[in-house]
């Protein structure tokens, strides 16, 4: 009885399952169970606290158009904030010398996203106030 070489063997009984197949399926099953359980756990534990945004000043460096203040937005809430407008203001006493802003597209829950705001005045000479102006629910 000639056996074809391209692998389409007609076996009278069950197909032989290679050990590699068992391993691959085993790993796949383990990953699946892990993902599924974790997602369920996350669903159970996930109390939806609204986004709570704090903007942190990281570094001030000289840039082409003036100065760059590198910032990090930290969301300590569980929910994601979308379209976060961040405003930076250089203050001299109570008067505002310069205002600048940027928008972060997404700040996920319990995460931080970094970015920067440009100013033409030197931030070192003034006091810098950073805050989030608002967000949207995704």
Partner 1 sequence: MGNELKDINREYFEGLSRAFGGAVIFALPILMTMEMWYLGFYMDRLRMALLMLVLLPLLMGLSYEVGFRPEADLLNNILDSFSAFGVGFAASFIFLLAFNVISFNMPLDEVIGKLALQTFSLSMGAVLSRGLLGGKKPRERTRSRLMHYLAELFIMAAGALFLSLNLAPTEEMILISFKTSEWHALVLMIISLFLMYIFTYSISFSGREEIPEGTDRKSIFLRFTVTGYIIVMLMSLYILWTFGRTDGMSAKQILMACVVLSFPGSIGAAAARLII
Q: Is 52:22 a contact under the CB 8 Å cutoff? A: no
d(CA 22, CA 29): 10
Task: State yes or no: residue 54 binds partner 1 (CB under 8 A).
Answer: no
Q: Can you tell me which of 1, 4, 8, 124 binds partner 1, judged by CB under 8 A?
A: 8
d(CA 49, CA 44): 14
Give the binding range for partner 1 (CB under 8 A) out of 63-71, 84-92, 96-104, 109-117: 109-117
31-64 exposure pattern, b = at least 16 Cβ within 10 A, e = fewer = eeeeeeeeeeeeeeeeeeeebebebeeeebeeee
Task: State yes or no: residue 65 binds partner 1 (CB under 8 A).
Answer: no
x-marked contacts with partner 1 along 86-105 as a string, rule CB under 8 A: --------------------
Q: Can you tell me which of 1, 18, 47, 94 binds partner 1, judged by CB under 8 A?
A: 18
Least Å from the CB of residue 79 to partner 1 = 8
d(CA 138, CA 19): 45
Q: Can you tell me which of 2, 17, 65, 95 binds partner 1, judged by CB under 8 A?
A: 17
Task: State yes or no: residue 1 binds partner 1 (CB under 8 A).
Answer: no
d(CA 9, CA 101): 68
Number of H helices, E strands in the chain: 1, 6
Residues that bind partner 1 (CB under 8 A): 7-8, 10-11, 14-22, 24-29, 31-32, 35-36, 38-40, 42-43, 46, 79-80, 106, 108-111, 138
């Amino acid at each position: 009885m000639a056996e074809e070489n391209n692998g389409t063997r007609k076996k009278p009984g069950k197909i032989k399952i290679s050990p590699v197949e068992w391993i691959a399926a085993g790993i796949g099953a383990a990953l699946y169970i892990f993902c599924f359980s974790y997602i369920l756990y996350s669903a159970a534990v996930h109390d939806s606290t609204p986004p709570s945004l704090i903007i942190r000043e990281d570094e001030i460096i000289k840039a082409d158009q003036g100065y760059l203040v590198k910032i990090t937005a930290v969301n300590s809430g569980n929910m994601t904030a979308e379209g976060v407008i961040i405003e930076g203001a250089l203050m001299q006493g109570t008067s505002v010398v310069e205002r600048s802003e940027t928008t972060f597209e997404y700040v996920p829950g319990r995460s931080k996203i970094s970015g920067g705001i440009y100013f033409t005045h030197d931030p070192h000479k003034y006091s810098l106030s950073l805050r989030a102006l608002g967000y949207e629910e995704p």
